Amino acid sequence: MPNARVLAGAGRLKQAARSVRDQWLMTEETWTDSVRKRFEDRFLSPLEPAVDAAVHGMQALADVLEQVRRDCSDRSESL
Amino acid sequence: MSSPVAVRSIDSLKDLRVSLALFGEEALGALGAVGAELRRTAYWLQQDRPAFWQEQIKRRREEVSSAKAELFRRQLAKAPGSSLSDTDQVEKVRRAEANLQEAERRLILTRKWQVQLNQAVLEYHGSVRRIKTLAASDVPSAVNLLNRLVDALEAYLQETAPSTTNVVSSTAPAPPAFATIATKMIEEAPPPPPDDATVEGEEDLPGDLPPEE
Q: Which pLDDT belongs to residue B77? A: 84
Report the gap between the CA of A44 and the closest CA in chain B (Å): 9
Q: Which residue has the higher pLDDT, B206 or B136?
A: B136
* Per-residue pLDDT at A51: 98
Mean pLDDT of chain B: 83
- CA gyration radius for chain B? 34
pTM for the model: 0.81
**Residue A50 in contact with partner chain B when CB distance is under 8 A:** yes
C-beta atoms of A9 and B16 within 8 A: no
Q: Which of A1-10, A47-56, B189-198 has the highest mean pLDDT?
A: A47-56
Task: Tell me which chain B residue has its CA closest to the CA of residue A29.
Answer: B8
Choose among A6, A29, A64: nearest Cβ to B34. Answer: A6
Provide the percentage of residues in chain B whose pLDDT is more than 70.
73
CB-based contact B186:B145 (threshold 8 Å) = yes
- What residues contact residue B22 under an 8 Å CB cut-off, 6+ apart? A16, A19
Q: How far apart are CA B173 and CA B160, in angstroms?
A: 10
CA angle B47, B52, B57 (to 5 degrees): 140
Share of chain B above pLDDT 90, in %: 57
Chain A residue with CA closest to B106: the answer is A72
Chain A residue numbers with beta carbons less than 8 Å from the beta carbon of B37 are 3, 5-6, 9, 65
Per-residue pLDDT tens for A43-64? 999 999 999 999 999 999 999 9
pLDDT confidence tier of residue B207, bands split at 50, 70 and 90: very low
Is B3 within 8 Å of A35 when comparing Cβ atoms?
yes
Of A6, A19, A20, the CB nearest to B37: A6
Residues A42, B30: C-beta atoms closer than 8 Å: no
Count how many pairs of residues, chain A against chain B, have C-beta atoms within 8 Å: 169
Q: What's the pLDDT band for B212 if we cut at 50, 70, 90?
A: very low
Ramachandran angles phi, psi of B198, nearest 5° = -100, 135
Residue B35 to residue A6: CA distance in whole angstroms: 9
CB-based contact B50:B107 (threshold 8 Å): yes
CB contact under 8 A, B123 and A60: yes
Query: What residues in A contact B179, CB-CB < 8 Å?
Result: 33, 35
Q: Which residues contact B16 (CB under 8 A, 6 or more apart)?
A: A23, A24, A27, B146
Rounded to a whole number of angstroms, the distance from the CA of B167 to the nearest CA of chain A is 10
Question: Per-residue pLDDT for B138 more than 80?
Answer: yes
Are the Cβ atoms of B131 and A13 closer than 8 angstroms? yes
**Does the structure show a pLDDT above 70 at B188?**
no
Choose the closest CB to B123 out of A13, A39, A57. Answer: A57
Q: How far is A1 from chain B (nearest CA, A)?
A: 15
